[in-house]
Amino acid sequence: MHLKSSMRPLGSLSLAAGLTLVCSGVNAQAAVHHHKVRHPSTKRAQLLNSTAATKAVPQKVAPAVPATPTAVPNSMEATAAETEYLHVVASPMNILQAPMGISRMPQDVLHTPQTINVVPKALMEQQNVKSLDEALRNVPGITASVGEGEGGMAGDQFLIRGFQAQNDIYENGLRDFGVYTRDSFDYDHVTVIKGPSSEVFGNGTTGGAINITTKVAHLGDSYGASLSGGSGDYARGTLDFNKQIGESTAVRITGMGNENNTVGRNDVYSHRWGIAPSIAFGLGKRTTFTLEYFHQTDNRIPDYGVPVITKPGTAIAKPATEFGLNRNNWYGTTYDQDVSNVDMLTGRLKFDLSKYITLYNDLRGGMYSRYFSASQPGCDTTCAAEFFTNPSAARINRRGHLGGPEPYQQNDWSVQDVFSGVAKFSTGRLRHEVIAGVDIAHVYDRRTNYAYNFNGLNGTQSDTTSLINPSSTQPGLLLGTVGQYSKNLVNISGVGHALYKTGDATDVGAFFSDQIWLAPWFSVRGGFRWDHWDSHYSANEGTTGAGVSYGQMQSTFNPTVSLMYTPTSDVMVYFNWAQSTTPLGLYVTNSSEPLKSSTQGFSPERSSLYELGAKYNAFHGRMGFTASVFRLEKGNALMTDASTGTVSSSSDRQRNQGVELSASGEILKNWTMIGTYAYYDATTVSSLTAANVGKRIQYAPKNSATIWSTYTIAPNRPWNVTFGGGLTWRDGVWLNAANTARVPATVEWDAVISHNFGKNWRIALNGYNLDNRLNYSNLFSDRATPSVGRSFLANISATY
């Protein structure tokens, strides 16, 4: 049975089905006007710190107010005052004014005591961002990887500050458990919260959390669409339609169709489409309910890159492309395929019980279906030696690690409900903001494994191809039906060749925090989260027995304490201490074998963060600046053998300490920028493998930086033009704990030029990797995937 034949891309049908969303990137320009307002002085504080795009600057001196955006006066009363104000429209590039988009984190970025990077909507529009991976290239310290060992997961697999974040992707504060490559057609902005955040999100978040704020229905009418085309047969269309119905109801539909090959990689493509309708009731009222549905279908070819090899006479392995191998070489077979279907339904309720108490309930159910088959190229010492001495004889093994992975069908479902409340009140002279709630989640994963029958040369089990001139066709390689070639399934220690694998986990969590203003300019926040984690794993219908079944229950407690000094509404200096835990069975959908007899009872990984930082909202909101120093310590680190996938230790300690800086907003009129920098001293402090002590943590760059800047000539004139570009830079990183394999630095130059026709139409041309440098994106312990080569994308969009 040839499974792939039934899963071929829909081709042009997927593009035709994909309507398209506006990516119009008109820069918001600073504008001023005078306006008299009569309001309480406390509301002036709220206005000064609004996450909307306006700042109120008094022309006359007004009474002093607390320097926090949610200040409630001790008397719970306010006196009215009439003052003339100058309203300045802040830059949409200033990330400090971005809302967190999470009910448990009601403040904006400026008043949240942690390092936070935001990829704003304006930046994504200028760069014509098309996926979550592309958006996160604007964030220093994030690297992409693909799961190792048996199972070989692809999809979005990110590391933050060198630590896995594969289960730490959220949409509007709810976890997205799926394993797939996320398109960005329904993104408003993306937020990366650096460092342990288990008090807010639950178990995980060692390096941080990624939260996507989606486009949902809003008051007012808006309509937009865009079409893009360019290098690599790229064709993309998006649609964004919002309609207000009555006084407080609105509907919105966003959609996408996308087809593309990958410039610089043979045979690699993605054909996908998606739709995301939403409806909101009670907008502007005390009770608001938003219902969102999301669907994405993707048919793509997984790319496991090129092998990392060691040149004779040297000690450090590098990607073979660094020694002259063609960067276009792809080592898959005609069976390789990654087909995913994702459906999520989300309901979010907000109820203002009074002006002091707000209640939230966020509920999501998700279903994920995926067929995955990928070749993992492996080049052993013989292959590497022949590459340098007799290249035509070098053969690469496409079965890679563990004799696989073999193809599998994955069917998952998940449900999560978070009920929370925010209360503001005073006790004597002390003001409080209390956040509390309950978080319940369940996730289920079921895999059906398929197997190849190898009838290669001389009847031996072989799936090799030339390292220099690979072929996707393997004579005699047959893909069987369920159970047809059972002994060619991946072998699992103690189980044999299992046909089915099942994992599930239930998490019940409760959280509480209280921010207390000891003075109008100084507050202390303390909080904790308790979780009870119950996970199970089974593998059955194996060739050596009836199968195995494991289970593990763990309770975790994660505290956090923050000190915040806010001398004005535009400045915050803070200290943050937080902890997070990661139980062994946390990655149910991402990890194929989370529990074994040898690992049951392993203590959770525990991480601690110490961070000192400052944030400054400058020039009436046109610019935002942040700086932080941190120390992140991880104990009980689980060590996974790259060749066997076996978890062998839970005693390693790792440490990452460093500095992060950012500047964002409008430098001068019509000139915007956003820039970031991170320095990481990431080290293994102790290990059962003595040789690894003192080595750098794999995938954690020592230095990384991004910058993007644009300038508009003659805005609102018929001859207007916007041009600019940016740089993404990341130091070379180690690929293993022993620091014997490394990829070189990433340096990518991108650019854009655009023109607006009136207020509604825009054309743009984006260029990516303009110097066609050989960079690497997805990283593995012994492989690396070359990034997209020089490419161009033209776009035309309209908004009404």
**pLDDT for 85:** 40
Q: What is the mean pLDDT of the chain?
A: 84
**For residues 382-393, average pLDDT:** 93
700-730 pLDDT tens trace: 999 999 999 999 999 989 999 999 999 999 9
Residue 634 has pLDDT above 60, yes or no: yes
663-684 pLDDT tens trace: 999 999 999 999 999 999 999 9
Give the list of residues 6+ apart from residue 294 with CB closer than 8 angstroms, or none. 171, 186, 214, 274, 275, 276, 342, 343, 344, 345, 346
Rounded to whole angstroms, how far apart are CA atoms 560 and 513?
9
Does 206 or 359 have the greater pLDDT score? 359
Rounded to whole angstroms, how far apart are CA atoms 359 and 560?
22
Q: What angle do CA 319, 321, 323 make, to 5 degrees?
A: 90
**How many alpha carbons lie under 13 Å from residue 747 in its C-beta half-sphere?**
5
Rounded to whole angstroms, how far apart are CA atoms 25 and 190?
17
308-346 pLDDT tens trace: 999 998 999 999 999 999 999 999 999 999 999 999 999
pTM: 0.86
Rounded to whole angstroms, how far apart are CA atoms 82 and 60?
10
Rounded to whole angstroms, how far apart are CA atoms 680 and 707?
18
Residue 54 has pLDDT above 60, yes or no: no
Q: What angle do CA 671, 142, 774 make, to 5 degrees?
A: 80
Rounded to whole angstroms, how far apart are CA atoms 129 and 132?
8
Supply φ then ψ for residue 7, to 5 degrees: -125, 25
Residue 358 has pLDDT above 60, yes or no: yes
Q: Say which range, 51-55, 104-108, 308-312, has the weakest mean pLDDT.
A: 51-55
pLDDT category of residue 4 using cuts at 50, 70 and 90: very low
**For residues 344-360, average pLDDT:** 96
Token readout for 490 is 């991946």
Token readout for 439 is 């978080």
Strand order, beta sheet including 116-119: 116-119, 187-194, 208-214, 169-171, 174-175
Rounded to whole angstroms, how far apart are CA atoms 420 and 40?
29
Residue 460: Cβ within 10 Å count: 9
Length of the chain, in residues: 800
**Paired strand residues for 308:** 319
**pLDDT for 146:** 60
Answer CATH for 3-22+212-799 from 2.40.170.20, 3.40.50.150, 1.10.3720.10, 3.40.50.920: 2.40.170.20
Q: Burial level of 85, CB count in 10 A (0-12/13-18/19+)?
A: buried
Give the domain ranges of the chain: 3-22+212-799
Q: Say which range, 127-131, 236-240, 542-546, 574-578, has the weakest mean pLDDT.
A: 542-546
Q: Are 800 and 224 in contact (CB under 8 A)?
A: yes
pLDDT category of residue 487 using cuts at 50, 70 and 90: confident
Does 625 or 25 have the greater pLDDT score? 625
What proportion of the chain, given as a percentage, has pLDDT over 90?
62
Q: In the 3-class helix/strand/coil scheme, how is 363-393 assigned residue by residue?
A: EEEEEEEEEEECCCCECCHHHHHHHHHCHHH
Rg (CA), the chain: 27
Does 626 or 546 have the greater pLDDT score? 626
**Paired strand residues for 227:** 237, 796
Token readout for 373 is 């088959």
**For residues 433-457, average pLDDT:** 86
